Amino acid sequence: MSYYDYIIVGSGIAGLYTALLAKDAGSVLILTKGSIEDCNTKHAQGGIAAPIGKNDSPELHFQDTINAGDGLCDPEAVRILVNEAPDRIADLIRFGVPFDTVNGEIALTREAAHSVPRILHAGGDATGEHIEVTLSRQVRMSSIRVLEFCLATKILVDNGRVKGVQALDCRTELTEEYECCYVILATGGAGRLFKYTTNSDVATGDGIALAFEAGAEITDMEFFQFHPTATRLPGAPSFLISEAVRGEGGILRNVEGYRFMPDYTPDAELAPRDVVSRSILYEMKKTGSDRVFLDVTHIPSRRITTRFPHIYRFCLDHGIDITKGLIPVAPAAHYMMGGIKVNVWGETNIAGLFAAGETACTGVHGANRLASNSLLEVIVFSKRIIERTRETDKATQTPKLSQVEYFVLSDGKKVATAPQLTLSNLQSVIWDKVGIVRSGEGLTQAAGILATWQDSLLQPSDRPTYELNNMVLTARLMTEAALLRQESRGAHFRTDFPELSPKWQRHIVFKKVST
């Protein structure tokens, strides 16, 4: 059996960045179920937020983040995020990330709910791709061992402490165990649960399922962010149209050409994502259409083609010159605010098990993520994970997490009329009943279907069946959290409880019952 100091599961920015920091502290193995380039990071167009501008400050960034989180951010975690941001940006520059500049200074743009321009970008709208390519190149040139097409299937725990990972070779379908001192889950989100998503095919909630089955705490799963503007083109996958397009002056129009956002909110197109997503949904229903349009034709064409080259080229490939025509868009599932509960050092309640990136819940995002804080969260808290493991005496103890109220997954009222379990049916159920606008009735129906499906699951044997099992479990955690939270807050909106409730200014935490 192979032994490593660190096993990192996932090869997005969280996995790669953490691995590059860890290699100076010990031996490192990256397990990734696809190739090293398969991840969500490269789809991050808008950029990375950091308070480095002349009119900005960590305090201003702190307030914007807290406001977006709608009462559920962890102030300590947010303070760490904004205070450590400039140093972590400097780290990325040292790694070779080519941020865009104007007159020798890093260019900054503004996105919704930010009070000043503070978004760094690279290649216009290709920030995530540039970071991913830069870090993966560094990893390939290093001593880090990377096992591609290798799916982690179980976290091995002994007497309350991590001892390794069981993994499936997706090509041979053979299982092997790898021992280690520390496991860092960096598996990304769960956007593939939904019929419409901006996420890549790898975002199937694997880390959530692995951690839950190992006994880790899972929190805030009811909060899933929907991006207001993903392309809605026949026969084409949803493609993210960055928030920065609206930040640069893009206008939303309905199918009749009417600019509708000022009817819903004074902030119009620059309102928080949950507000814009619901407004678009209501407008689509009102006009009987499955889309609205984003209009940038009034913006100088040169500015569009240089600032958003990827978006411009994608639309052109699909027959739309966005400098002259409108972009058909609709909301799509985008980012998971909840996840594996960690403290400000990235530690879970299991000694030696850490989580980073979208699969982790640091408390930074609260009920609604502030745009472009996600990439920043990765580099700030990944750095802290490695710092913690270097403090051997602390990292080997079971971490003290805050006192929480635990919930357990219900037995679920099984339904006799559940559709057959397929990926397509799962995505339709979650989109229709656990999507942008929810109700107690719809959530109850979804919970019953998911409980029935989970009862019928067979022992997985290959990547598709493991992923489907992980998705059903992750979907149950999300659905039951949404059913428990009887209010509307941030990205979680219920028609039967449309108001925010002070008694729900708390977190729902699930933990597996030991049998």
The burial class, CB within 10 Å (0-12 / 13-18 / 19+), for 490 is buried
pLDDT band at 402 (very low <50, low <70, confident <90, very high): low
- Confidence (pLDDT) at 243: 82
Q: What percent of the chain has pLDDT over 90?
A: 78
Q: Which of 99-103, 108-112, 451-455 has the lowest mean pLDDT?
A: 108-112
Half-sphere exposure of 224 (CA within 13 A, CB side): 31
The C-alpha atoms of residue 510 and residue 515 are separated, in whole angstroms, by 15
Closest CA to 379 of 135, 54, 124: 135
- Confidence (pLDDT) at 124: 75
User: Domain 1-223+337-408 adopts which CATH fold?
Assistant: FAD/NAD(P)-binding domain (3.50.50)
pLDDT band at 26 (very low <50, low <70, confident <90, very high): very high
Q: Which of 232-246, 320-334, 435-449 has the lowest mean pLDDT?
A: 232-246
pLDDT band at 478 (very low <50, low <70, confident <90, very high): very high
Domains 1-223+337-408 and 228-332 share a fold: no
- Confidence (pLDDT) at 400: 65
pTM of the model: 0.93
Closest CA to 243 of 121, 131, 123, 99: 121
- Confidence (pLDDT) at 45: 58
User: Domain 228-332 adopts which CATH fold?
Assistant: Flavocytochrome C3; Chain A, domain 1 (3.90.700)
Most confident of 173-187, 242-256, 384-398: 173-187
Catalytic residue among 118, 273, 384, 489: 273
Q: Where are the domains of the chain?
A: 1-223+337-408, 228-332, 409-510
Q: Which of 29-38, 84-93, 274-283, 463-472 has the lowest mean pLDDT?
A: 29-38
Per-residue pLDDT at 44 exceeds 60? no
Is 273 part of the annotated catalytic residue set? yes
> What strands lie across the sheet with 406-407, from one edge to the other?
360-361, 339-341, 218-219, 509-510, 406-407
> What strands lie across the sheet with 119-120, from one edge to the other?
48-49, 119-120, 108-109
User: Domain 409-510 adopts which CATH fold?
Assistant: Methane Monooxygenase Hydroxylase; Chain G, domain 1 (1.20.58)
- Confidence (pLDDT) at 125: 73
The C-alpha atoms of residue 227 and residue 246 are separated, in whole angstroms, by 12
pLDDT band at 348 (very low <50, low <70, confident <90, very high): very high
